[in-house]
Structure 1
Amino acid sequence: MDLLKTVFGIDVSNRKSNVCIMVNGQKVNDYAISNDMVGFNQLLGDLKQVTNPQIIF
């Protein structure tokens, strides 16, 4: 069974943060979130979809 390695790279800025999601070294998504509850909930929703994500700030 192949295990997927999922990495969330997060570039934190003052008003927004840029998120890049990679699976086994391939970019699968990137987007910006606002640094408020709406943006954090969006990120949390994505994090909950994978098992043991690696998070890099």
Structure 2
Amino acid sequence: MDLLKTVFGIVVSSRKSNVCIMVNGQKVNDYAISNDMVGFNQLLGDLKQVTKP
């Protein structure tokens, strides 16, 4: 069974956050989100997609 190693980093500032998502050492996404429910829901949706087998 292959195991996925998922790592994500978030740099938070007052108006936005920069997000980087890596799977098995490869960057799969790198973007900025707004610090509100719209941005947080975008991040949550992306993280759910990355962790699906």
TM-score (normalizing by structure 2): 0.85
Q: What number of residue pairs does the alignment pair up? A: 53
- 1:20 is paired with a residue whose SS is strand
Q: Which structure 1 residue ranges, 5 or more long, are not aligned?
A: none
- 2:31 is paired with a residue whose SS is strand
Q: Which structure 2 residue ranges, 5 or more long, are not aligned?
A: none
Structure 1 runs (4+) deviating above 4 angstroms are none
Report the alpha carbon displacement of residue 4 of structure 1 after superposing the two structures with TM.
0.7
Structure having greater relative contact order (Cα 8 Å, sep ≥ 6): 1
CA RMSD, Structure 1 to Structure 2 (Å): 2.2
TM-score (normalizing by structure 1): 0.80
Higher helix proportion (structure 1 or 2)? 2
